[in-house]
Structure 1
Amino acid sequence: MYESGFELEPLIRYASSYDSFKTERIVCELINEGVAAIFGPGTTETSGIASSVCNTVEVPHIITHWEREKVGMTNEDSSPFTLNLYPDTNVLSRAYADLLIDYTWKSYTIIYEDDDSLIRLKDILQIHDPQSSPVTVRQLGDGPDYRPLLKQIQTSGESHIILDVSNLDKIITLLRQASEVKMMEEYQSYIITSLDTHTLDFEELKFMRANITAMRLIDPSSFDLMNAIHDWELGERQFQRMYRIAAESVKTETALYHDAVRLFAAAVRELDATEEIETEKIDCKQPQQWEHGKRIAEYMRLRTDNGITGRIVFNDDGKRSHFQLEITELSKEGFKKIGTWDPEHHVNYTRTLGEAYEQVIEALQNKTFIVVSRIAAPFLDYRKSEDGEVFEGNQRLQGYSLDLIDAISKILHFNYRFEIVPDGKYGSYNKVTKQWDGLVRHLLDRKADLAICDLTITYERRTAVDFTMPFMTLGISILFLKPVKQDPNLFSFLSPLSVDVWVFMLAAYLGVSILLFVLSRMAPDDWESSHPCNQEPEELENIWNMHNCIWLTMGSIMGQGCDILPKAISTRIVACMWWFFALIMLASYTANLAAFLTMERMDATINSAEDLAKQSKIKYGAVKGGSTMKFFQESNFSTYQRMWAAMESSRPTVFVNNNDEGRDRVLKGKRQYAYLMESTMLEYFTERYCDLVQIGGLLDSKSYGIALPLNSPYRTAISGAVLKLQEDGKLSALKEKWWKGGMCKKPESGGSDDAAELGIDAVGGVFVVLGFGCLFALIVAILEFLWNVKKVAVEQKLTPWEALRSELLFAVNIWIITKPVCNRLSESESPKSTPRSQKSSRYGSEAQSSKEKSVHSVNLNNEKVNGFTSRSLSHLNRIGNFFTRKNNSD
């Protein structure tokens, strides 16, 4: 190479990769010949001795290979004359880890060749934590048969593989054998850590469906590489060797040597412009320092340059700390750039989401998907032949799942073939065998590309397979047999009030009637003249006998009223309290009676999950191993925990194998079995089995989705198709098609069991008010009685005790219905001439005569005198006496 005034002449010597002694001798020979820099050797085992010699004589030492870090080595221990253009180990390891994180790989298997591989992948091992999925590390044997190792990985179900193998031929052999054991399918992904992956001949692997990702330091389409290849071809022509150099065949080591020589030449040229640089022959036995070596090494360390391998920047240790890697992906045209990585921006994709989506759509064209499902109407069922026609393939099936996949296939233009899972299970994980079953097992074994049915998206299943966006939302509910209508009850009109209320009402009715009778005899205002025209009657009568008291309270409680009313304050208070009580009770009875007469009375039933949990007579269960059973098994809610304990301990078992078995068990259970199931199938059953009904609302919220193998490249495309069908309203139309159409009519809203008996707690306050009112009336009546006793004692000139005794004996004598006027004047005395002190007392002879007359009147009450009763004659006599006194006064 010529560079303005000086010529770089290469001196090439070969040394064993593991012979340090010979390497030292060769380095000393080159230095003794007066070299300006040492390039190489290319292994870690021998580069150390070369670096030590160059550091002693201060000759620049440039290497271009990966070099492991020396344990315990610090910055002071590093040689200032050694520069390494190969990407720094720590930075390169971080690049692989960033790519892995961006790909969101949760589990993976590392296939490594030697111990150096684990050093290069240390950051990948460090991002794994105890909560993450397990990571498998397997060492590649001597070969050449790697199939046993690959079969072990396939058996484990791992689909993510990191391949760190430096031998390119081994990589080709390994991938070829992986294809033979069916580990190069579209659900397997490989990351190859070699920076020379782009130089491999992948012609036979281009059409494999596995995703192969690699990183490279060289951009085959870069302008610098094209110029370098042009210079190399010109150099070969000087030696009369004519051949073309392909950009894809340039290895990283070749490009690094090219950049190293260019960097050294640029440093020498620029330093030579200010001071002439001459080489010097140095003897290793009598070491001395080359005067220009230190300046050249420091200038190269500080200089920033761009070469075939991109930007070249060294850190203080002489390591290349800043570089850019291209993320490539194998396609039909070879390795295609999809992004870049650098220490500052990390992963940055150059391929847009639209381009990635178009690539997936292109891969879907005319692809045939194997769709696994299970028989469960309306999602999937066998088509019934009407004319003996035999169906084959997809035509033998019908249902919601088939129509949904068919609609998606028309959007994405792929073919499909349905298969039925042999065990008929959805997919649950057995913690003992550590194996999945059902649909999930089929996907893990790569026997199917899609799984569709009423498969619930759960966290446990999501760790094993991928799901598209939900195509149906649902929840757990209760399937039960409809209540049986009871025969009408002859005395159903008594139902609005409980038995306790009826008993208390009857007691209140009798108590108030008796109290009203007693108070009316004590209250003076309820004693009145037998004729309203007689202002000064000889006797007073009380109409409030027991018969009238009972009639007043009965008329009030019936809302009809009465033609007689009390006049005393105490009895009116009792009447008012009773009317208030009657108003409340009558209104409550009327309101509750309307609900009871209009509703349908059913037998004892359940209305919610809480009702199931509180009782033990009705058994309940779910599908064994299904998501509903898992919901109760793993729930932290106390009600659901009690339900799970009851289900688990029930004998015989309450779990069933499928929804049809659960439905039949409810139908035959005579309301002794309830089935917990997902609301979608529950709606389907209630549309076609009129004796079944949904109890309560939804216990949770979940979704159905289409399952795919983990990291399927088609998940985004299929999810987009599902979203389009939802936006177009086709998902709703499909559900309407397969769910509706049953013969059962929905019950009209109205009659319900919401009305309930009114207990004593609901109307107890009315009784309290009535009781306090009656007590208040009793107190007022006592005060009225005592006031009257005082008044009588003053007027009749009796002691209070005598007056009290006389009035009390008269009040308790219930047989006397008339009462003489206590201040009536003697018929023989004039009102004006008779002094007040001479007024006759009913407690004297006149009172005794009056009492005898009253008794006599009572005794003659029912006797006829000339066709008149004694009472009639008494009224006539009183009228005659009234007019006689009137004439005398006139």
Structure 2
Amino acid sequence: MGAAAVVGPQVSLTTSRHIQSLCHSLQVPHLEGRWSYPVPSSWTREKFTANFYPTPPDLNQAYIALIKEWNAKAIAVIYEDNDGLIRLQEALTDLREPKVHLAQLPNDPNRDYRPFLKMIKMTMRIRHLVIDCRAELIRTIMDQANQIGLVSEYFSFMFTSLDLHTVDFTPYQIQQGRVNITGFRLLREGWRQSSDSCAQGQDWRTNMNQLTTTSMLMYDALHSFARALRTSEREGPISVPTLSCDTERGWGTNGSQIIRLMLQTPMMGRSGLIRLSEFGRRDDFELDVLELGAAGLEVVGSWSRAGGVNYTRTWGQKTEEIATSMSGRTFRVVVGLANPYVMEDNTTESGFSGFCIDLMGEIAKKKKFKVEYHVSPNNQYGTFSEKEGPSGMMKELMENAADMAIADLSITLDREKGVDFSMPWMNLGISILYRKPVKAPPQLFSFMGPLSTEVWIYMGTAYLGVSVLLFILARLSPQEWQEPGVCSMAGADPDFLENEMNLRNSFWFTIGSLMQQGCDINPKAVSTRMVAAWWWVFTLIMISSYTANLAAFLTAGRMETPIKSAEDLAKQTTIKYGAKKTGSTKYFFRDSSKELYRRMYNFMESARPTVYVDSSDAGVERVIKSKGLYAYLMESSGIEYVLERNCELTQVGGLLDHKSYGIALQPGSPYTTVINSAILEIQEEGRLLELKNRWWKANTPCPDDNKVNANELGIDNVGGVFVVLLGGMCVAVLIAFSEFIWKSRKLAHAEHTSLMNEMAKELKFAFSCKGSSKPVSKPEPLRPSQSATYLSNGPGNWNADVTFEPYQRKP
């Protein structure tokens, strides 16, 4: 009967290519409403095919735009068959970020995809999935994904099928905010057919979920063909010839005219604006962006090749929707035990207390949700490694065992690769916890400390030099030679001159001046007085300086500080140092580019026994018990807390790095923005500082070591002065006994008695305490038989019965 146009087929792409070739040969319009391979550039405009389905390259650009909106680190692209892989080819080749993992749905006649989906969840640990499959498989995949825990607010599904609107998602609509399903729709909702249609004025809104894209595209194709046919009939009648594949005769100019009118005339169809290219391809179209909400799939935006993705809701509206979905829910929070952040407390409803618990309580109060806490296995904070996978809290989050993690948890690059972090709620850095420097015990001769050893030597040298100089100048100066005074011996020669500044008196004068005590002997000449005056100036300054420095020196004990920085730690091996064995502090030294820190890490790794500890509390206890042989590397905020409660410890040096604490959330968590806004609100209200003061400040702070108590001095401070005094007394006693023995020996020889008898007599008189006068000992009378050897006994020892006065020697 002849054919004016051929429609389809809709299933087999191979058959479609065959029909397309026949229509081209017979010059018959070929109408399609399904996807097909891109048209090679070698094909010309004489081709008689008009395809109303969007071109795969343009659809891929829509997929890429939506994937980039995820800001995902990695995605999984799952396809049903090879056609799906071809449809996604442009997206796979154009995407640079994120990392793409390809996987094909298993060809299971029972359609059991649960093992496959579980592998995606556990092995790849991917939270964003792009799935290309038939619309009738979408509900099956979602149900099985829900059974293995893939359907939650932390997993996002994007389906490439343009028939997503035909899938019944009623069981998932009640989980508002907890199911992330997105996709595209080509059909226009609420569209009314134009007046020249057979179905004039019909409203298609009521049966939208029953309309497939291909059927509506066929409707638009036939409508476009009808319009072109009527336009062509205005120029003359059109006869449809009977055509055969056995002959080369085609429809001629009528077929070419109709297909040309279809390509040149845009129209508004059920799938929106229809504008075909010269190759019969639909490369200018608009897609609705669909997301699953409480009322089902909702249009949240649109995509076009010119404008990209445009959402109809603002970022604030989306955040408000997420916050609303959090209201009334109970979130699982994994914690790590560390004072004062998180501590077990049976007196509270949650079983925990601490700064982090209060902070999370403030956030929950503002966003109206509840919290359920549990401790991380082995109390490990953990990290994420591409080779070893996650550990500790990171594993809890990535395996969906917890919604959030809060503790003294540092935001690091390795952790950021596996999970999401909120904005920082505390900034800090690594420092060194060590025993406080111990005051050195006062030394016995600490009173000599105000002056250095060199100064003492110089002062002694000056004392000797001035004394000798004074003696020499006194010998040279005529004014120092004077007549004997009243104390001179009777009968002294008036021409005899006496000089008081002998060597002994010179030393006595200078030492008396140095001790600020003065002397009964004074210089008389100008030269000697000049020496004395400048010596007094010197002693005034030195004694004043000594006195001024003595008080502070004796009251402020010197500190013994073996280490002052990380460099000091690295230079020695006596004091061991370590960190928490599974914390960011250890990884900082391991991954540091600084040679000093890498050397410290190697030292910690090779130390035996190990210098690593299981917790910060264990590290603090080890510092206390080591008595200065162990230093603990930890965050400065923890050190600040410890120092408020333990006055024996101190922080050594400054910060080795800068880091921040944050709340960890599951990768791709929609709640990150809401948590950030809550933290900012708490910070601006001043509650964050109040919480820190509450948990950090101790009730009884440590005394200020910088304050010097100068009210009293102990015997340890001035004991050396007593020792010097005792030593001086002992020397004086020794000299006195030496003089006593020497005098007793002379008297014993003069009186012809034994030394012991003379010493006994002198001691008896000394200890009798009978007045302060003493009789002069005289020699016995000279007997006739005695020789004149008495003359040699010295003055004052002559026999009273013999007169030798004319021959008596002068002293």
Is TM (by shorter chain) over 0.5?
yes
Within 2, Cα distance between the matches of 1:127 and 1:590?
84
Residue number in structure 1 paired with 2:669: 712
Residue number in structure 1 paired with 2:422: 468
Q: 1:358–1:366: structure 2 CA closer, same or farther, 3 Å change rule? A: same
Within 1, Cα distance between the matches of 2:542 and 2:237?
122
Q: 1:140–1:116: structure 2 CA closer, same or farther, 3 Å change rule? A: same
* 1:420 correspondence with 2:389: no
SS of 2:612's equivalent in the other structure is coil
Within 2, Cα distance between the matches of 1:609 and 1:358?
48
On the 8 A contact 2:404/2:666 being kept in 1, the answer is yes
Deviation at 1:280, TM superposition (A): 4.0
Within 2, Cα distance between the matches of 1:713 and 1:471?
19
Residue number in structure 1 paired with 2:334: 372
Residue number in structure 2 paired with 1:356: 318
Structure 2 counterparts to residues 523-672 of structure 1, below 5 A: 596=553, 599-672=556-629
Q: Aligned AA for 1:401?
A: C
Residue number in structure 1 paired with 2:36: 67
Within 2, Cα distance between the matches of 1:132 and 1:634?
25
Within 1, Cα distance between the matches of 2:232 and 2:319?
53
Deviation at 1:695, TM superposition (A): 2.0
* 1:437 correspondence with 2:391: yes
* 1:729 correspondence with 2:683: no
Q: 1:252–1:591: structure 2 CA closer, same or farther, 3 Å change rule? A: farther
Match of 1:50 among 14, 19, 27: 19
Residue number in structure 1 paired with 2:286: 324
Q: 1:499–1:170: structure 2 CA closer, same or farther, 3 Å change rule? A: same
On the 8 A contact 1:476/1:698 being kept in 2, the answer is yes
Structure 2 counterparts to residues 837-852 of structure 1, below 5 A: none
On the 8 A contact 1:478/1:696 being kept in 2, the answer is yes
Within 2, Cα distance between the matches of 1:566 and 1:287?
150
Residue number in structure 2 paired with 1:249: 210
Deviation at 1:359, TM superposition (A): 1.7
Q: 1:607–1:563: structure 2 CA closer, same or farther, 3 Å change rule? A: farther
Q: 1:431–1:352: structure 2 CA closer, same or farther, 3 Å change rule? A: closer
Deviation at 1:293, TM superposition (A): 2.6
* 1:141 correspondence with 2:107: yes
- Which of 181-190 and 490-499 deviates more? 490-499
Residue number in structure 1 paired with 2:793: none
Deviation at 1:665, TM superposition (A): 0.4
Structure 2 counterparts to residues 287-302 of structure 1, below 5 A: 287-302=249-264
On the 8 A contact 1:370/1:449 being kept in 2, the answer is yes
Q: Aligned AA for 1:47?
A: S
* 1:402 correspondence with 2:357: yes
Q: Aligned AA for 1:313?
A: R
On the 8 A contact 1:157/1:445 being kept in 2, the answer is no
Within 2, Cα distance between the matches of 1:664 and 1:193?
59
Identity of aligned residues (%): 39
Deviation at 1:510, TM superposition (A): 7.6
SS of 2:116's equivalent in the other structure is helix
Match of 1:116 among 58, 65, 83: 83
- Which of 480-489 and 183-192 deviates more? 480-489
Within 2, Cα distance between the matches of 1:246 and 1:219?
12
Deviation at 1:623, TM superposition (A): 0.5
Within 1, Cα distance between the matches of 2:304 and 2:345?
58
Deviation at 1:661, TM superposition (A): 0.7
Q: Aligned AA for 1:49?
A: H
Within 2, Cα distance between the matches of 1:315 and 1:555?
119
Q: Aligned AA for 2:702?
A: K
5+ long unaligned stretches in structure 2: 481-499, 710-811
Within 1, Cα distance between the matches of 2:525 and 2:93?
98
Residue number in structure 2 paired with 1:38: 6
Match of 1:192 among 159, 172, 192: 159
Q: 1:607–1:427: structure 2 CA closer, same or farther, 3 Å change rule? A: same
Within 2, Cα distance between the matches of 1:286 and 1:165?
41
SS of 2:377's equivalent in the other structure is coil
On the 8 A contact 2:25/2:248 being kept in 1, the answer is no
Task: Report how many aligned residue pairs link the two structures.
Answer: 682
Q: Aligned AA for 1:702?
A: K
Within 2, Cα distance between the matches of 1:749 and 1:34?
105
Deviation at 1:724, TM superposition (A): 1.1
5+ long unaligned stretches in structure 1: 1-31, 235-242, 386-390, 532-542, 753-890
Match of 1:448 among 367, 381, 402: 402
* 1:90 correspondence with 2:57: yes
On the 8 A contact 2:38/2:55 being kept in 1, the answer is no
Q: Aligned AA for 2:180?
A: N
Deviation at 1:599, TM superposition (A): 3.7
The TM-score with structure 1 as length reference comes to 0.68
Q: 1:496–1:362: structure 2 CA closer, same or farther, 3 Å change rule? A: same
Q: Aligned AA for 2:305?
A: P
Within 1, Cα distance between the matches of 2:469 and 2:187?
113
CA deviations over 1:476-533 (Å, ceiling 9, x no partner): 1221122222222344455466546665787799899999999x99xxxx999869xx
Within 2, Cα distance between the matches of 1:99 and 1:155?
25
Residue number in structure 1 paired with 2:637: 680
* 1:202 correspondence with 2:164: no
Within 1, Cα distance between the matches of 2:514 and 2:95?
82
Within 2, Cα distance between the matches of 1:591 and 1:49?
112
Residue number in structure 1 paired with 2:74: 107
On the 8 A contact 2:72/2:98 being kept in 1, the answer is no
On the 8 A contact 2:195/2:201 being kept in 1, the answer is no
Within 1, Cα distance between the matches of 2:232 and 2:179?
52
On the 8 A contact 2:442/2:557 being kept in 1, the answer is no
Within 2, Cα distance between the matches of 1:699 and 1:724?
30
Within 2, Cα distance between the matches of 1:517 and 1:225?
135
- Which of 225-234 and 499-508 deviates more? 225-234
Within 1, Cα distance between the matches of 2:457 and 2:599?
40
Deviation at 1:549, TM superposition (A): 12
Residue number in structure 2 paired with 1:20: none
On the 8 A contact 2:130/2:157 being kept in 1, the answer is yes
Deviation at 1:596, TM superposition (A): 4.4
Within 2, Cα distance between the matches of 1:410 and 1:226?
58
Q: 1:495–1:145: structure 2 CA closer, same or farther, 3 Å change rule? A: same
Within 2, Cα distance between the matches of 1:380 and 1:480?
24
Deviation at 1:581, TM superposition (A): 12
The TM-score with structure 2 as length reference comes to 0.74
Deviation at 1:376, TM superposition (A): 2.4
Q: 1:629–1:553: structure 2 CA closer, same or farther, 3 Å change rule? A: farther
SS of 2:624's equivalent in the other structure is helix
On the 8 A contact 2:28/2:250 being kept in 1, the answer is no
On the 8 A contact 1:226/1:247 being kept in 2, the answer is no
Q: Aligned AA for 2:330?
A: T
Deviation at 1:100, TM superposition (A): 0.6
On the 8 A contact 2:332/2:402 being kept in 1, the answer is yes
SS of 1:417's equivalent in the other structure is strand
Q: 1:173–1:381: structure 2 CA closer, same or farther, 3 Å change rule? A: same
Within 2, Cα distance between the matches of 1:175 and 1:361?
25
Residue number in structure 2 paired with 1:843: none
SS of 1:320's equivalent in the other structure is coil
CA deviations over 1:692-731 (Å, ceiling 9, x no partner): 2222222222222221111112221122112111111112
CA deviations over 1:265-293 (Å, ceiling 9, x no partner): 33344444456555444444132451133
Deviation at 1:380, TM superposition (A): 2.3
Within 2, Cα distance between the matches of 1:248 and 1:473?
53
On the 8 A contact 2:79/2:133 being kept in 1, the answer is no
